[in-house]
A and B are shown apart, each in its own frame.
Chain A
């Protein structure tokens, strides 16, 4: 097949890495970036990137002096600040004992790169471009047996029109450690390509909340690769509300027995927004459980996508994998695509999935109306409850209200237009 699209962005990425030594991990990465994924590729069928090849984008040159007052949204949190994709110690909080942030050298960066390249994120555009263009890979380490009580709030800001931003974060939780991390994406850029590698060692436990709220012209192609060891616990929730095009893709590898994974999320989409939650869960060992609940509310001409793959290896007996997605369309022009994929090679497993796309439940609406509540109020109550319900199920108590308030703003915007 002949593709003769001249992609300025690829040239500018190559240009960016030309300053580095031949052996640098950046050059290795950029060699693999030939083009944006085509819609013929199964995982990009519903989320097309062709438009990016027609844009004049160049990788950002971070301004380390850019003054941004990174405002915490969660009271009392420890802030970790990334501006233009670069870690800014001067804008970040001092971290509590047992936790540390480091900028990785060439060797460790190469190790991170290979972890991505050995995963099924190997062809994700962010894998190649962001390893090429990131100012540095930053590592957050939580030491053995340390339970961090403070909530860490990672704020990704900066960017500008027609620039691409490349934050890269490696989180390692050592044995028996635990933490709750809130990440907020608030870029003003045309294209953000965050990379995140998470490794949970034995019995480690992490609550992760990601809020995608880049401005209305932005693209965000987040790639997350997570490895779970024995008895570890990863509880992740993504709230996608901003951006013109946001795709959060997470691949989780369950590598140790008795680990537990929740990959839940919500997208709230209006106008011409395109929101995509794509996940892949690899059960490689026995006795692990994974659960995914994804919900979307759409208005305007928005599009929502949920793609969830669960692969159970032949040895992964006694796997419990649950997946449920539901989208409510409030406008005739909104679209929701759901694609559950189960690949099960073991015979003694429990795996369930379900996907629905539709309107507000008739029975529930009638029940509320039969109590004197107007149709408009009843719909508002039900949609708000639809969100409240998944947030309460997914997120630990101390941040439930915070998440709900973050979601409610975007929701009320959709509701006010459609109901």
Chain B
């Protein structure tokens, strides 16, 4: 059974067709990359999967481990094991990083029937994971994403992913706004979480992220549907010839 199954989904925003029959099947242990030009529907796809209000499907269906997501709110989807790393992580003035993480982790643990972590145990765990992501203690004391640099925001996203241990992670343009060093740290963080039980969907414009997070499959998204799928070599083709060639051929 696929971990994530997207079946012929169609979605409109402001009466405009954005996703026009998109299908994708992601199994355990796989990393999929979805590449596409601006306006192809990449961010819409990630918001739709995460369950943002206003991104409800017109038709089609999405399954997480065989369970339909259509009646699930964003928070239920997350507790069930879906994670979205935001392209633009949202600033939360006044919400401390540590208490935010704890609330999120305990919501998931509660759902899984695990015991909630007490403050001390949690802080210990968070610090351990944070140090691997080069996230300083000081950053966890600050308000979430407030005054963080582009790199810090993305590192904090991946730190959340590491703490929540999702089954399926959607990384929406995680490489945007990162310099080479930051890109390496973030990618190492993602790679460390790859295992046989989870799956990762990387959404990106550029091939360069895929040098670090090497995908098993690459899909080209254009005008609301996947027009071509292949192995990592497809990303190199995009890098060489641009999207135009591929889109015209399809």
Most buried by B among A372, A374, A386: A372
Interface residues of B in 128-148 (CB under 8 A from A): 143
* Candidates B75, B94, B164; contact of A386 at CB < 8 Å: B94
For the complex, give the distance between the alpha carbons of A385 and B94 in Å: 4
Q: Mark A370-389, 1 if CB is under 8 A from B, else 0.
A: 11111101100110111111
Stretch at the interface among A127-135, A147-155, A358-366: A358-366
Cβ contact within 8 Å between B108 and A372: yes
Question: Hey, which chain A residues are within 8 Å of B180, CB to CB?
Answer: none
Chain A interfacial residues counted at CB < 8 A:
24
Considering the complex of A and B, which 5 residue pairs feature the smallest CB-CB distances, nearest first? A385-B94, A389-B94, A372-B78, A371-B104, A367-B90
A127 to chain B minimum Cβ distance, whole angstroms, is 37
Cβ contact within 8 Å between A381 and B103: yes
A392 interfacial contact with B, CB 8 Å: yes
For the complex, give the distance between the alpha carbons of A370 and B92 in Å: 14
B160 interfacial contact with A, CB 8 Å: yes
New A-B pairs, 17, CB < 8 Å, besides A364-B92, A368-B75, A385-B92 = A362-B53, A366-B50, A366-B53, A367-B86, A369-B51, A369-B74, A370-B50, A370-B52, A371-B100, A371-B103, A372-B108, A373-B75, A373-B104, A373-B107, A377-B107, A381-B103, A387-B94
* Candidates B75, B92, B104; contact of A375 at CB < 8 Å: B75
For the complex, give the distance between the alpha carbons of A373 and B108 in Å: 8
B242 interfacial contact with A, CB 8 Å: no
For the complex, give the distance between the alpha carbons of A411 and B183 in Å: 42
- Given A374-B107, A381-B103, A389-B143, are A369 and B75 also a contact pair (CB < 8 Å)? yes
- Given A377-B103, A385-B92, A385-B93, are A371 and B164 also a contact pair (CB < 8 Å)? yes
Cβ contact within 8 Å between A385 and B107: no
B116 to chain A minimum Cβ distance, whole angstroms, is 13
Chain B interfacial residues counted at CB < 8 A:
28
- Given A369-B73, A374-B107, are A389 and B50 also a contact pair (CB < 8 Å)? no
A379 to chain B minimum Cβ distance, whole angstroms, is 11
Residue ID in chain A nearest B78 by CB atoms = A372
A337 to chain B minimum Cβ distance, whole angstroms, is 24
* Candidates B78, B94, B103, B143; contact of A370 at CB < 8 Å: B78
* Candidates B83, B86, B95, B164; contact of A385 at CB < 8 Å: B95
Interface residues of A in 376-409 (CB under 8 A from B): 377-378, 381-382, 384-389, 392
Cβ contact within 8 Å between B94 and A388: yes
Most buried by A among B52, B53, B74: B74
Question: Hey, which chain A residues are within 8 Å of B83, CB to CB?
Answer: 370
A326 to chain B minimum Cβ distance, whole angstroms, is 11
For the complex, give the distance between the alpha carbons of A371 and B79 in Å: 7
Cβ contact within 8 Å between B93 and A389: yes
Interface residues of B in 91-110 (CB under 8 A from A): 92-95, 100, 103-104, 107-108
Question: Hey, which chain B residues are within 8 Å of A366, CB to CB?
Answer: 50, 52-53, 74, 90
- Given A362-B53, A367-B86, A371-B164, are A384 and B94 also a contact pair (CB < 8 Å)? yes
Residue ID in chain A nearest B54 by CB atoms = A362
A interface residues with partner B (beta carbon < 8 Å): 362-364, 366-375, 377-378, 381-382, 384-389, 392
Question: Hey, which chain B residues are within 8 Å of A363, CB to CB?
Answer: 90
Cβ contact within 8 Å between B95 and A370: no
Cβ contact within 8 Å between B104 and A372: yes
For the complex, give the distance between the alpha carbons of A370 and B172 in Å: 13
B177 interfacial contact with A, CB 8 Å: no
Question: Hey, which chain B residues are within 8 Å of A386, CB to CB?
Answer: 93-94
Question: Hey, which chain A residues are within 8 Å of B50, CB to CB?
Answer: 366, 370
Question: Hey, which chain B residues are within 8 Å of A374, CB to CB?
Answer: 75, 107
Question: Hey, which chain A residues are within 8 Å of B111, CB to CB?
Answer: 372
Question: Hey, which chain B residues are within 8 Å of A368, CB to CB?
Answer: 75, 92, 100
For the complex, give the distance between the alpha carbons of A268 and B195 in Å: 49
Question: Hey, which chain A residues are within 8 Å of B94, CB to CB?
Answer: 384-389, 392
Q: Mark B61-102, 1 if CB is under 8 A from A, else 0.
A: 000000000000111011100011010011011110000100
Cβ contact within 8 Å between B103 and A373: yes
A17 to chain B minimum Cβ distance, whole angstroms, is 49
Residue ID in chain B nearest A377 by CB atoms = B103
Cβ contact within 8 Å between B92 and A371: no
Cβ contact within 8 Å between B73 and A375: yes
Residue ID in chain A nearest B95 by CB atoms = A385
Question: Hey, which chain A residues are within 8 Å of B52, CB to CB?
Answer: 366, 370
A258 to chain B minimum Cβ distance, whole angstroms, is 28
* Candidates A362, A369, A372, A381; contact of B95 at CB < 8 Å: A381
Question: Hey, which chain B residues are within 8 Å of A385, CB to CB?
Answer: 92-95, 143
A359 to chain B minimum Cβ distance, whole angstroms, is 12
Question: Hey, which chain A residues are within 8 Å of B86, CB to CB?
Answer: 367, 370
For the complex, give the distance between the alpha carbons of A372 and B78 in Å: 5
A366 to chain B minimum Cβ distance, whole angstroms, is 5
Question: Hey, which chain A residues are within 8 Å of B95, CB to CB?
Answer: 381-382, 385, 388
Enumerate 23 A-B pairs (CB-CB under 8 Å) in ascending A order: A366-B52, A366-B74, A367-B86, A368-B92, A368-B100, A369-B51, A369-B73, A369-B74, A370-B74, A370-B77, A370-B83, A370-B84, A371-B100, A371-B160, A372-B75, A373-B78, A373-B103, A373-B104, A375-B73, A375-B75, A385-B95, A388-B95, A389-B143
Question: Hey, which chain A residues are within 8 Å of B89, CB to CB?
Answer: 367
A45 to chain B minimum Cβ distance, whole angstroms, is 32
For the complex, give the distance between the alpha carbons of A381 and B143 in Å: 12
A260 to chain B minimum Cβ distance, whole angstroms, is 23
Cβ contact within 8 Å between B107 and A372: yes
Residue ID in chain B nearest A386 by CB atoms = B94
A264 to chain B minimum Cβ distance, whole angstroms, is 14
A395 to chain B minimum Cβ distance, whole angstroms, is 13
